[in-house]
Each structure stands twice: as C-alpha cells, then as structure tokens.
Structure 1
C-alpha cells in the first residue's frame, strides 16, 4: 500500500505538522487513533467542512481508527477562528438536532463496523458536567494568557472585540484533545489550517498534564481555493450542503461537474479516493480532450456516490441527460422540481387560458403575435410536450402536483410556473 504521508503530500493535504519526523515514526510502527472535530452550528455540514474528515477516512483506510468528535459543548460557545464577529449562540435543543443531522452524514463517509471502525463522541459528555471551579482550577491554570494572546485566531480579534466566552474556546478544545488522549488513546488531531492554534493548545495541555513520555501530534489541511481566487464551496444559490433537503443530489452533482479544468485534478486529489494512476490518466484527458470533461464527470460521480449513494447518483445522471436531450417526459415531478429550482419563475392563478394568453402572461413570449408564431413553429413545450395548436387550452391537467409547470421556449429557455 502507498505510504500514507507520501500520498497525503502528493494530494496537497499536508499544510502544517507539529513534528513531521515523529509522526512518520509513529505511523511506521503502530496503528493509532486520531480525531477531527466538527461543531454542530447547523444541522448539516457543507462541502467546506469535509476535507479534514476525508483525510481522516484516508487514515482509516490504512488501518488507523478515526474518532469523530461532534462539539455539543464547543458548539454552544463559538470558535473565533476565521471569524470577525461573535457567533449566534444556539439552544441546547437545536444543537442536539444538529448533532443528529451531522451524525447521519458521518455514517455516509466512514466505516463504523470494521475492526478499526470509527467512533463518534460528543464533548458535551465531559465538558457539560464540568463546573466553573473545576474548569479554572484543573485547566485554566495550565495555559498562560500570553500564550493564548499569541494565537492568530485570538490576536486578530483583539481590535474588533472578543468575548471571554470565545476567548476560552481554545482552552476547551485543548481539554478535548487531552481527554481523548487519556480515554481513547488518541495520538493525533487533524484539522483545517484555521485550527492550528487550537491543536497546539491541546498539545500544550497534554504536555503539562503528563510525563515526558507522552507524545501527541497535530496535522492541518490547507484551505481549499479555486484557481480564479473565488471562494470554494459556493454555488449560485449559496453553500453546497451535504443534506439532500438543502442541496439536492442533482444540484450536488452539477456543482462538481461544473468544476473548471484548472481545478478539477486538484479536487480529484483532495476529495476522492481514486488511486494516483487513475487521477494522472484523467489529467492527460484534461490536457488532450478537455471537451469530453471525463475528469469532471468522474469527480461528480465519485462525490455524489460517496455523500448520497448510488441511487441518488443514478437520479442525478438521469436528470442531467433529460435536460441535455430536452426529453423532460423521462423525469418525475419531483425530479423536475429539483432540476429547475433555480430557473426563472413566475406565479400565476389556477385558471384555464389559451396557450397564447398563457405564455404571454407568464412572460415566456413577449407579445401575442410572437406567442402565436412560437406555438405554430413548435418552439413551445409544457413539461416536455410540444404544443403546436394555438387554440390549445392550458388547464389543471398540465399542472404537476397541481402546483407547478415547466415551460420551454426554444432549446434552452426554461421557466417554472408556480400556481397560487
């Protein structure tokens, strides 16, 4: 099997290491437990969250055990890392719901059943019962204020303001690493580059609460960027979520398939588990046959299958093919709704109208004269069915689920009609 650290370096997944030589020696002689944390600030992760998790999965595939920490406690505080303002605090009930949503997504990514199956833990279990005296006496005394002020995540907020609540976040994350070291044999923390300060606080806490034989390590993953300088992980409609209700599998698939040629090989390395030889072969196709978009199709298929499963991938491909061919009749009403969620829409009353009056009112055609020409020339279709009779009456039979309709003019001009 490929050397793990060499593979991570080739994929561009190693940004900082606290002790690269010690880490290499550790992995060379034993199978370890290592962790990554996610704060439940929402009931779903988005694709910007998953790079450290996918890296942890790579460790699991090499025989190591991942510990997945969901921050039921830290999620109630707010991490100042990368933020310019205080996080909106959430209720315990909301955080519990968020934890359940994230847990389902973790189960899609990790193997929980094998000998080195993933373990999921919640820091609410050891932080939630701690009183303020215990916190200050047992842990607050371990970390010097000057040490904390040296952290970029804290220093960058001193001018704009930082509450004591968020100031203490790095201490609590340090308690997490210390607890997992003691109770789970956890030797390594993996995080995004913005977590470097929190990871090193954890190592400092382990150093101060154990003898000199205690060895723990930290690794950070670089921030994923796009070659044009714009932010990765955003589509035209906002964040790309792992929850199918927030970002449908079709939208998820389309996000990846629209990756620029200049980014696609980098993303194949970072996000997929394809072998090096296969990725290098796809790199050749990007250079020699970019119009075939083989690399983008592979990336979209791998990611959609990983997060949503084979059935959802099949559906996303079916929608994509139907839109490309214009054969909307192959789609269910639900698939049409997903496919056309972001096309221009207009609201209309549930009334019968001739096709000419209907498409003018729906602003599909600009005038009645043009509408008659469009219908007669076969340029208008409703839900994938061409309408060529200018006397055709649009009725309830044309409404999908009695609430919407897809009208197309020409080859690519779609409009969703929502009935109220």
Structure 2
C-alpha cells in the first residue's frame, strides 16, 4: 500500500485491551462499473433489508422496512451489473423478516428490477408455517402442509415476475423422516413449476435448524439425494446454490450436475477460487458477501469477461477474502449484522438498525475488526463518512473518539 493510497482521515480505534490506537484510513479501491451485462458468470448478490428507524425493531416485532433505503441498495447492486437475490437469509428470513414483509419486499423489488432491466431471483420458502405446529401431526399431513406453504410463496414470486429460489425449509427439516420425504416434496413442487428454479442448500452453520437436510447428516450422502432430485428434474432446475462452506464438496457436486444446471456458490469463505475457477470448471455466484463487497465483486467479474485478466479477477476477490471470512465467522448466522454495519458505514442506510434487533448480533471488537478489514480491502467508499460513523458507534459503545 503506497502513500498515494492513504486518505487524510484518521480515527482512534480500540485495541483488544481497550487502549486506543490511531488508524489512518486508506483510499477506496479503484473500482469500476461494467458497460455491458456480464456473460462469463451469472452473479447474484443476496441483499439485506433496512428498517424504519422509529419502528419497534425488537425481537418478535413485525418487520417495518424503510423502502427508500432498502430499494436504493438494490439499485446500487444493479448499477454494478450484479443480480439481486431477494428475500433470502441475508434479508433476515427466519431471523426478523416475517412473511408479510417478505411478500411486499418481493413485489416491490421485482417491480424495481423491471424498471431498470436488473436481474432478480426471490426466495420462496415456508416461513409462514411454524415448524412447532407440525409436532404430533401425521407425517403425510405435515408434508402436505409444507408443500402447500411452498406453493403459496412460489405463487407470490412467480406472480411478481421473478425467478424463484426454493429455499431450504425449517418446517421440512422438522417434518421429513428421511431422504424420500425430501424427494417427494421437492419433486411435487418442481413438477408444478412452469419454468426452471434455483434450489437452495443452506448448511447448518447458517441455520442450525437445518441440520440433517436432505435426510442425511453426512454431507456427501445428502449430496447424493440432491443429485438424484436434480437428475430427475433437470429441465426444471436452473441451478443449485450450495452454502456449506466446503469447497471440496461443492466442486464434487458441481462435477456431477447434469449439463446446463449451474452451480451457484454460496461459499462466503472460498468464493475467489470457486468463482474464478480452474481446469475443473467454475461456479456461478449467489452470495451474501457480494452485497458487502459489491464494487470489488463487480470489478473482478469484469476481468472474467472475454479479453479480461482472470488472474487479476482472482487477485481482487482474494483481497476481500479476509473481510468475508470475518463477516461470516461463527456463529455464522449473525453475518447479516456485519453486512448491515458495512452498508451503514458506506452511507447506504441512515442508521445502524436491523429488524428483530439483530444489530446487537455482533460484538464491538468484531465490528472494529470489520472496519479495519473493509478499509484494508478498499471497501470504505467514503473514508470520511465511514470514519465519522465509526466514531459515532464507538462513542455510543463507550469509546469517546472522533474522526479528524
């Protein structure tokens, strides 16, 4: 990092022992926007949501969204050539964003996508169905309830004009007795779909309630069930998003997919290698981290286009990897807090709040380190604003400091 790459902004940041150390911020990275749609990779960024600051925003309260800020962030992603993966776990599905709010989010975001020609795919799950309500229910009736819940949400997504993503279901994980039950529910739904969908395999690290998904706790056995499902319905599957944080397993599945079925990596740890690829192929992307690192992700994807430099693409993505691994560190299901915090630092939302009180999901030291890593990666796009907001956050949490 040369002197020319340093900004004039400094900020006192707390170290592990609580002492303050002067930190000089770096200039933003030399990120660029694409002049035409991407063709070498399909890339969706899973976007978060912004609440109204005066709403309750406490655990269990209905989600009340700031539509201007929430939709403006999607326009930011589309302007960088990225598609939007809407109403996914990054948007706090099952962690604060209830189905009524998700319904409105899907409809509004899909309309905005059409207005600018942006790509959008939306999550269809079963979160209007409480898994606890299936306790003691006859197995066939429980599976029928899950299937009907999926149908309701699929109808909402299709009606909005978006590509459906069949999200992993806590209710199905609670109701299914074995792999055959998963195959039965998904096969029924795929047979009814009029166009290809994206399947969604979210690992236990992201949601402990999904342990044993696909009827197996051993990942490769579960993968065999997934491949059986896709093989039987390849014409109805655009691709599968795999979020297991296991690059070897993802590649193993990718190499066994039917021709024409995409692997969308959801691996927020190993995305540089998986997206850039090698002689064994590459993965497309459906990533929460791409929302956090959108300018860098876009610039890297431009280098993967014909005439670009794949080595440079890998270099760019690798420069963000430490930030990605920190944001998605265990407990991984709180990664949304880091995504929202970085969005606030960069001016994409008026305050650091999240629906369901999830802004309290990470510690002060975690967010301080996030700030450092984002700065190192050149992802604080307005250093003065980011330093001022970080100083405000530190003051509120007990560290009296200001940007100078």
TM-score by length of 1: 0.29
Give the greater-gyration-radius structure (CA).
Answer: 1
Query: Relative contact order (alpha carbons < 8 A, sep ≥ 6): 1 or 2 greater?
Result: 2
TM-score by length of 2: 0.30
